[in-house]
Amino acid sequence: MSKAPTRNRLDTDDGRPTMQDLHGDGHFAQTARRWWLREKAAKFNPEILKTDLYDILEKENFGLKALLILENLQILEK
């Protein structure tokens, strides 16, 4: 009886954010560092919210991975 081949879980994209997504040079990580992951958060700017977050989410069809990245980058807490 042979075993079914096992997949290497590190090589599969299961939709969850990776460390690279959260700490790398991705759009959301850069936006987070620029606006709210700082010692003192920048003053709220609705135009930035629209262009840097909402428009990107809309283009990605509000994909689960993008929303999870923003949640992990603490957008709701800031």
The answer to whether residue 77 scores a pLDDT higher than 90 is no
What per-residue confidence (pLDDT) applies to 8? 46
In-domain check, residue 57 = yes
What's the total number of domains in the chain? 1
In-domain check, residue 52 = yes
Q: Which one, of 49, 40, 47, lies nearest residue 76 by Cα?
A: 49
Q: Which two tokens stand for residue 31?
A: 């936006």
Rounded distance between C-alpha atoms, residue 75 and residue 36, angstroms: 8
Which residue range(s) make up the domain with 31?
Answer: 16-72
Q: Contact 73/29 with Cβ under 8 angstroms?
A: yes
In-domain check, residue 45 = yes
pLDDT tens-digit map of 15-65: 888 889 888 889 999 999 988 888 887 888 899 889 999 999 999 999 999
What per-residue confidence (pLDDT) applies to 35? 87
Taking the alpha carbons of 60, 64, 67, 69 in that order, is the dihedral positive or negative? negative
What per-residue confidence (pLDDT) applies to 76? 65
In-domain check, residue 6 = no
